[in-house]
Amino acid sequence: MATHESKPFFVNRKDIVFVKPSKSTTQEVLLLSTMDNDPTLEYIGQTIQVYKSNDLESPKDPVAVIKEALSKVLVFYYPLAGMLKRHKNDGRLRLYCNAGAGVPFLEASANCKLSSLHYLDCLDIAVTKKLVFDRPDDEIDGDEEGCYYHPLLIQVTRFSCGGFTIGMGMSHSVCDGFGAAQFYRALAELASGKSEPTVNPVWERNRLLVTTPEEPKSLVDKAFLATSPHIPPSDVVHEFYNVSSESIKRLKKALRANESGENYTSFEILAAYVARAKFRSLEMNLDGYTVLSFTANIRNHLSPHIPDGYYGNAFFEPRMIMIGKDLSEGPLLKVVKMIANSKKKAITTESIMTLLRNMEWFIEKKVKSRVARGWTFFTDWRNLNLIEEVDFGWGASVNMIPLPFDVHGFIDLCVFMTPCRMDSLMKGGMRVFVSLPRACMAKFKEEMDVLKRGEVNNLI
């Protein structure tokens, strides 16, 4: 791959403009679901999509195309052109749909080629922070009831090679991963000439709304959770770690040899391995408990089903608990089995309603439902299919990256992703986005390198 150019990386940003729906839209105040109102989810999640030049002479400007498409798609997704506010008196979010607000949109130009940045395959926070932007200055303190802010922000940055990036900030209170991906596909469809999205958006947040709180039952007393001398961290670093398809195949083969007839998924196997690597790198106590958790889409598990097009938060968090010694020193196969069995457990309407009542309890108490230690939370972005399927007219994205975000606590979260398409050696592999205290990252890489070297026989 190309190396960084010697000149400093620079992005020239124009003034923020506010893109409004191309047609008149409904002006109203929308309530959000109980799940949307969870204080843990109230943050702007930032992602960057990378599009290389298609090597064809085109009079079209990606900034103009995307800006026009945004104006059109906001006719269908008009709530995203409004303003959010959490009211202090009841702790609830409200979305003020006002076409006069619009989506903050920023046009920018970079002074280099995408290849000089490895198509963002090597995470450099100083670089990526210039390809997105935070809340604009127009966001005001509001009144005694709370502060207004935009649920969506977009920056399109041109590069000298003809490629570009789309940096998007989306409120997790308004959209989960599936919802954000649905909006992004709709934006691309209208940029490509369609008159309306293939999937029409559905609000209907009342489907996941409860009013009766229920105090959650703890899996384990927090006093018995595993601790680390590195938590709370004073210096957190963020890294991508690539796991090749060959490494995954070797581990699967070794597992099958010890568990005849069982086929475990790449997610189950790698989640178990990463959880162990994190636990060891954090030097957590072996007699403490650790919790593993991951997201599961609930759109088809409710009765009646949540309708197609629903773009609010709709996920479940299966959780499993184990002694640290079992995770760190026991057979990896045991951890894989626990994850696989947890995925197979039925997600029922009643279990979802219990989750919502628990969330309602946290909302009323005005606290974030997170654990700061002894916890690893996995989310799998591969099934969003945003790299392979989304084309604005310049070909599919070659890379997609998240920026660090504090949802369950920086170091609790691991994201599994599709590798950069510019790296042919990673075809069929997986990429792990992980955040750890700086003092622990080298040890984590050592643990992951064992998998890369194929030394799996003693792991099972």
pLDDT of residue 125: 87
Active-site annotation, residues: 172, 391
What's the pTM value of the predicted model, to 2 decimals? 0.92
Q: Hey, do 11-208 and 224-453 end up sharing a CATH topology, with the first three levels equal?
A: yes
pLDDT of residue 397: 93
Residue ranges per structural domain of the chain: 11-208, 224-453
Consecutive sets of 10 residues in the chain, 460 residues long: mean pLDDT of each? 64 96 95 94 94 78 97 98 92 88 96 94 89 74 73 97 96 96 97 95 96 86 88 89 94 80 87 96 96 91 91 93 95 93 85 93 78 79 84 92 71 92 93 94 95 73
Q: CA 214 to CA 429: how far, in whole Å?
A: 42
The string over 124-155, giving b where at least 16 C-beta atoms fall within 10 Å of a residue's C-beta and e elsewhere, is eeebbebbbbeeeeeeeeeeeebebbbbbbbb
* Start-to-end C-alpha separation, the chain: 35
pLDDT of residue 4: 46
Torsion angle, alpha carbons of 248, 251, 254, 260, to 10:
-70
Tell me the angle at which helices 245-258 and 332-344 cross, rounded to the nearest 10 degrees.
90
CATH of domain 224-453: 3.30.559.10
pLDDT of residue 144: 61
Q: Do 19 and 103 touch, CB atoms closer than 8 A?
A: yes
DSSP secondary structure letters along 211-247: ----PPPPSS-GGGB---TT-S-SSEEEEEEEE-HHH
CATH of 11-208, one of 3.40.50.620, 3.40.640.10, 3.30.559.10, 3.40.47.10: 3.30.559.10
pLDDT of residue 375: 84
Considering Cα of 98, then 99, then 103, then 108, what sign does the dihedral take?
negative
pLDDT of residue 2: 46
Strands 152-158 and 236-243: unpaired
**How many Cα neighbours within 13 Å face the side chain of 273?**
30
Q: CA 357 to CA 49: how far, in whole Å?
A: 36
pLDDT of residue 385: 81
Per-state percent for the chain, helix, strand, coil, to nearest 5: 35, 25, 45
Strands 375-380 and 289-294: parallel
